[in-house]
Amino acid sequence: MATDTLTALLLLSCPDKIGLVSRISHFIFERGGNILDLDEHVEADGKRFSLRVAWDMQNFSISPADLNDAFTPLAREFNAQWNISFLEKRQRIAIFVSRHDHCLQEILWRHSMGEYAVDIPLIISNHPDLKPLAEHHCIPFHVFPISADNKQQQEAEELELLRKHSIDTVILARYMQILSPQFVQEYPVNIINIHHSFLPAFIGGDPYKQAHQRGVKIIGATSHYVTEDLDTGPIIEQDVIQISHRDTVDDLKRKGRDLERLVLARALQFHTEYRVLVCGQKTIVFQ
Amino acid sequence: MATDTLTALLLLSCPDKIGLVSRISHFIFERGGNILDLDEHVEADGKRFSLRVAWDMQNFSISPADLNDAFTPLAREFNAQWNISFLEKRQRIAIFVSRHDHCLQEILWRHSMGEYAVDIPLIISNHPDLKPLAEHHCIPFHVFPISADNKQQQEAEELELLRKHSIDTVILARYMQILSPQFVQEYPVNIINIHHSFLPAFIGGDPYKQAHQRGVKIIGATSHYVTEDLDTGPIIEQDVIQISHRDTVDDLKRKGRDLERLVLARALQFHTEYRVLVCGQKTIVFQ
Amino acid sequence: MATDTLTALLLLSCPDKIGLVSRISHFIFERGGNILDLDEHVEADGKRFSLRVAWDMQNFSISPADLNDAFTPLAREFNAQWNISFLEKRQRIAIFVSRHDHCLQEILWRHSMGEYAVDIPLIISNHPDLKPLAEHHCIPFHVFPISADNKQQQEAEELELLRKHSIDTVILARYMQILSPQFVQEYPVNIINIHHSFLPAFIGGDPYKQAHQRGVKIIGATSHYVTEDLDTGPIIEQDVIQISHRDTVDDLKRKGRDLERLVLARALQFHTEYRVLVCGQKTIVFQ
Amino acid sequence: MATDTLTALLLLSCPDKIGLVSRISHFIFERGGNILDLDEHVEADGKRFSLRVAWDMQNFSISPADLNDAFTPLAREFNAQWNISFLEKRQRIAIFVSRHDHCLQEILWRHSMGEYAVDIPLIISNHPDLKPLAEHHCIPFHVFPISADNKQQQEAEELELLRKHSIDTVILARYMQILSPQFVQEYPVNIINIHHSFLPAFIGGDPYKQAHQRGVKIIGATSHYVTEDLDTGPIIEQDVIQISHRDTVDDLKRKGRDLERLVLARALQFHTEYRVLVCGQKTIVFQ
């Protein structure tokens, strides 16, 4: 990875005060960086400043390896939470699936089209069903059947595998097991789930059946970061589709599949392009 | 109202069995009626048949006044719930409002454009604020301030007024009072409310504030028939709009206004064209 | 294919007159058919009646083989264009592709999910690129390179292959060649194309580039039947997506891919469920 | 208008080069301005930089009156097209209408809700029909009937009136006359039209009839700046709605009304918040 083709990406959040944009853009400018994209947001209550800025590292006077140290004094002064990444440094993604193939299919197809700048070194499942699909894409497929008895042990082995492959982000592509709090804590704000309802409506199991029983005229899907509380993590992306009384629960499942895969695909795109900043229970998605 | 320009409208629901469409269309045909529109639906579980059929009464051998009696034997044989209306017989609508004008404005404007074949003989409010708007449209405006003490008495007087004006349907156009069960029972499946959320998400008060706190990426509005349980009546129509982290609660209210008025306007259209059939907690909307 | 599990499907169009629904539903009823779905439409000018009706052949007194003959007298009396099909009799589909895989991928995936009641005995392409995808789905893949010199001859061989496989419908899944009028005439109203614009805007080549140059805020995709005139056949389905000034032509292509595959997939669904009736330059899509 | 409550708004476009964001944000910072919102965009071909930045003038060391002069040297150095406005300085808007009331109604209602920070000192029409609506909102209404003979003279008088009222922007809210090139040149990029189709489809007259004849499945509306060429000016906003074969031309007009008023209302909002930057035939809309 040649330094001169890198794009630096700073995500930063801190208490608002005068001069933040100027100070940060000046930090970049005086070291020879050309800003490609800058988006900032101040919460309406005026207390929280958030920023995403991308710049070209060509001609930058500081090496990528030294950039964190160089920026630390400014970040300390601003009392900021922050993170610098490089767009060209590919995130490493593990996908968890069960038996439904549509979300996995969608992500692997988009990956093959070059839509995600990521590596996908492994797929993990509690069922063997989707092994052929993984093989078609030449991605190792690991089966960890889960029962009440073996869950703790299996999760430990999964985590071991993730560590071994230096996984940054876990995608739950209709993975039908609930991860333990211990597992979730290993990947804070780095596990992305797709829930097949318009959260917070229809939390929990069988949301399409719940939607059918309630007689709603629209169904939705929600992609969110996984926290220890079920279906209540920060929402990254949502979308909906119209339905009618003619639709059975099976029709909702069929229509919902199209939503689920598109919503998860977009959430993954936002995440891998470092567009998402989590603030408490909510996200800022810089677009 | 000349008989020969009437359009008859039958809404019917009964246990499914063979020959229902044939028997009903034959009933119309053999009396000289020309079917203009017919839509039917059988629940996927195969047990419930629903139908909406419209026909031209010109050349029909039975008078509008005798039509109910003529159809009764067939309806009894089918063990049906049913209702025959005439599209040209204008429903009589009362609108209840509080201080927000957008839903009232929308309905009165559409009414002025001739979109609804209804009469609106009165508007009722618990506040005097929207009197000028009512006057601009030359519709009598009645103020009934509501407090814990006088609610029962005021509702009784409102009902008296509705009866006096032969009101068929009550529209709650952002009316910020909860009607008592006694009031609701007087107009079963004939009180239409607009709730400013995508039900069943954010039931109850301040749904935009709830939505903002949860950090959803889409907000919605729901029009439903009022039952004795708050915000749980059969849903007629829903719609949504995308929001972002930039939107404050006030932005949600502003964007939501556009949703609320369009969703309520469509629900009223479906209702006045006899397109809505209520089945338990759900509706069939023939479109 | 057991007769007693068949669903008959009549599509019919004729001059409007009184009693059409009654006569047709009675034809079905008196022979023991149970109507599952009936939808009809009369053009607002009152001159053209169109109908789609599905019924259960179980207990029907006429065999599927004799049904056409039995219905012919009624159809003649009505001066109707009509067609009776059986939902369970799988249509035979050939897919034409070039180098883009997204539409082919989408159709094959939906087919694998059981969304289409069709057989896909072959895929034809002017390039070898998508052979592996076809093989993954175990569908024979035939390559016919096209040049100005060999087009007539290659099309003749393609047609020979289609006839040999008893193909009912041809899907152009981003097939980048223009079929000759001679080819089109062999499959009237049975060749479905996906055009990557919101027709009639941006007819012809490079529609995304045209859209980018014009500065539109929304792009679309259109699925239509192929006629001898380019991009002007009857439209089956359209959809759109919002774009912004940030989107390059490549972004439009990426976003457009999602539209193209969903729009083509829905058009194919409508076509294979016999929901589409062509009236001159327009379609009626019964939903 | 107190200086200390002003929000300055800079729109700027220039050839891209390193340090633009830094230099501009530093200009603001070193004079005591607090940046509230900053959005920038570099055309993918890398040659054109565009920026919208808003800052709080409280504590700013330069008075609003001197701000243009102070920024001029920087703008010259960058070879920029630019404009500084103050959000609180209300734009002055004239609305042109004919007989359709829906767009006028929508704008006046939103104006009454405080959605636009503008003054609307007059409405101009070629018909007297909408005078009562203007009067209900207490806005002077001027009638200028237009014929082939008097067009030049009437436009001259209209322009005189606009100048007298210091009008900044003209809104054509379904004004059914074509303005002469001479008129258009008086308000470059400051006349906003609503066209009742999804441009560039169905340019010219009767677009709903054109859409009905073509059999499209979606109709649209487009708001754009008026240039001397009909319906080809830079597009500000577009939206669409689904239709079906059931919709007559009158239905399209009715559904289209809802589109037209929302699309025009949004375009006006973008324009009055200085979010629109015109680049040749296209717009950048900062959101």
Q: Is D200 an interface residue toward C (CB < 8 Å)? A: yes
Tell me what pLDDT residue A4 has.
Answer: 58
Residue A218 and residue B201: Cβ atoms within 8 Å? no
Contacts A10 to D, Cβ<8 Å: none
Q: What pTM did the predictor assign?
A: 0.94
Q: What is the rounded CA–CA span in Å between residue B219 and residue D207?
A: 32
Q: Of B129, B231, B251, B258, which one is the catalytic site residue? A: B231
Q: What is the rounded CA–CA span in Å between residue A57 and residue A35?
A: 9
Query: Which of A18, A48, A50, A56 would you mutate first to test chain D, the one with the most D CBs within 10 A?
Result: A18
Residue B239 and residue A216: Cβ atoms within 8 Å? no
Return all residues near D50 (Cβ < 8 A) that are at least 6 apart.
D12, D13, D40, D41, D42, D43, D277, D279, D284
**Where is average pLDDT lowest: B46-50, B59-63, C207-211?**
B46-50
Tell me what pLDDT residue A204 has.
Answer: 82
Q: What is the rounded CA–CA span in Å between residue D113 and residue C122?
A: 61
Q: What is the rounded CA–CA span in Å between residue A92 and residue A23?
A: 32
**Where is average pLDDT lowest: B12-26, B43-57, C259-273, D103-117?**
B43-57
**Where is average pLDDT lowest: A4-8, B154-158, B210-214?**
A4-8
Q: Is D176 helix (H, G, I), strand (E, B) or coil?
A: coil
Tell me what pLDDT residue A1 has.
Answer: 45
Q: Of B22, B37, B42, which has the smallest distance from its Cβ to C26's Cβ?
A: B22
What are the DSSP calls for B126-181, one per residue?
A: SSSTTHHHHHHTT--EEE----TTTHHHHHHHHHHHHHHTT--EEEESS--SPPPH
Q: Of B102, B136, B254, which has the smallest distance from its Cβ to D136's Cβ?
A: B136
Give A106 to chain D, closest Cα distance, Å: 27
Return all residues near B261 (Cβ < 8 A) that are at least 6 apart.
B102, B103, B105, B106, B107
Domain boundaries, given as residue ranges, for chain A: 3-86, 91-285
Q: Is C138 an interface residue toward A (CB < 8 Å)? A: no
Contacts A19 to D, Cβ<8 Å: 29, 34
Residue C258 and residue A254: Cβ atoms within 8 Å? no
The string of pLDDT tens digits covering residues C99-117 is 999 999 999 999 999 999 9
Q: Of C199, C218, C287, which has the smallest distance from its Cβ to D240's Cβ?
A: C218
Label residue B42 by pLDDT band (50, 70, 90): confident
Q: Of D109, D254, D257, which has the smallest distance from its Cβ to B105's Cβ?
A: D109
Whether pLDDT at C34 is above 90 = no
Label residue C3 by pLDDT band (50, 70, 90): low
Whether pLDDT at B1 is above 50 = no
Q: Of B25, B40, B42, which has the smallest distance from its Cβ to C22's Cβ?
A: B25
Residue D109 and residue B115: Cβ atoms within 8 Å? no
- In this prediction, the residues of chain A whose per-residue pLDDT falls under 70 are 1-4, 46
Q: Of C231, C250, C251, C258, which one is the catalytic site residue? A: C231
Tell me what pLDDT residue B279 has.
Answer: 87
Q: Of D21, D36, D39, which has the smallest distance from its Cβ to A35's Cβ?
A: D21
Nearest Cα residue to D201 out of C71, C203, C242, A47: C203
Residue A22 and residue D22: Cβ atoms within 8 Å? yes
Tell me what pLDDT residue A44 has.
Answer: 73
Query: Which of A7, A25, A286 would you mutate first to test chain D, the one with the most D CBs within 10 A?
Result: A25
| Closest chain A CA to residue C261 | A258
Whether pLDDT at B225 is above 50 = yes
Q: What is the rounded CA–CA span in Å between residue C285 and residue C282?
A: 10
Contacts B199 to A, Cβ<8 Å: 201, 214, 216
Contacts D262 to B, Cβ<8 Å: 258
Q: Is D126 an interface residue toward B (CB < 8 Å)? A: no
CB atoms within 10 A of CB B274: 19
| Closest chain D CA to residue B259 | D262
Average pLDDT value for residue range B251-260: 96
Cβ–Cβ under 8 Å, residues C158 and C140: no
Q: Of D102, D257, D262, which has the smallest distance from its Cβ to B258's Cβ?
A: D262
CATH 3.40.50.10800 fits C91-285, yes or no: no
Give me the residues of C, 35-74, that contact D with CB < 8 A: 41, 44
Q: Architecture of B3-86 per CATH? A: 2-Layer Sandwich (3.30)
Tell me what pLDDT residue B287 has.
Answer: 86
R_g of chain A computed on alpha carbons: 21
Give me the residues of B, 90-119, that contact D with CB < 8 A: 102, 105, 109, 113, 115
Backbone angles phi, psi at B55, to 5 degrees: -140, 155
Q: Of C19, C22, C34, which has the smallest distance from its Cβ to B18's Cβ?
A: C34
Residue C18 and residue B32: Cβ atoms within 8 Å? yes
State the chains in contact with D (3 or more Cβ–Cβ pairs under 8 Å): A, B, C
Average pLDDT value for residue range B27-47: 87
Spell out the per-residue pLDDT of chain D, length 287, in tens.
455 589 999 999 999 988 899 999 999 999 999 888 899 988 877 689 999 999 999 999 999 999 999 999 999 999 999 999 999 889 999 999 999 999 999 999 999 999 999 999 999 999 999 999 999 999 999 999 999 899 999 999 999 999 999 999 999 999 999 999 999 999 988 999 999 999 999 988 899 999 999 999 999 999 999 998 878 899 999 999 999 999 999 999 999 999 999 999 999 999 999 999 998 899 999 98
Residue A115 and residue C258: Cβ atoms within 8 Å? no
* Structure tokens belonging to residue A23: 């100070």
Average pLDDT value for residue range C121-149: 96
Active site residue B247: no
Q: Hey, which residues of A are catalytic here? A: 231
Give me the residues of C, 18-37, that contact B with CB < 8 A: 18-23, 25-26, 28-30, 32-37
Nearest Cα residue to B144 out of B133, B159, B132, B134: B159
Whether pLDDT at C145 is above 80 = yes
Tell me what pLDDT residue D277 has.
Answer: 95
Residue C238 and residue D220: Cβ atoms within 8 Å? no
Give B147 to chain A, closest Cα distance, Å: 33
CB atoms within 10 A of CB B15: 12
Torsion of CA C39, C43, C46, C49, to 10 degrees: -40
Q: Of D119, D231, D239, D251, which one is the catalytic site residue? A: D231
Average pLDDT value for residue range B73-90: 95
Residue B245 and residue A217: Cβ atoms within 8 Å? no
Residue A19 and residue D39: Cβ atoms within 8 Å? no
Q: Is A284 an interface residue toward B (CB < 8 Å)? A: yes
Residue B113 and residue D105: Cβ atoms within 8 Å? no
Tell me what pLDDT residue D3 has.
Answer: 52
Label residue B168 by pLDDT band (50, 70, 90): very high
Cβ–Cβ under 8 Å, residues C212 and C248: yes
Q: Is B262 an interface residue toward D (CB < 8 Å)? A: yes
| Residue scoring higher pLDDT (A108 or B203) | A108
If you count them, how many residues does chain D have? 287
Label residue C1 by pLDDT band (50, 70, 90): very low
**Where is average pLDDT lowest: A94-98, B43-47, B230-234, C18-22?**
B43-47
Tell me what pLDDT residue D4 has.
Answer: 58
Tell me what pLDDT residue D276 has.
Answer: 96
Residue C281 and residue D214: Cβ atoms within 8 Å? yes
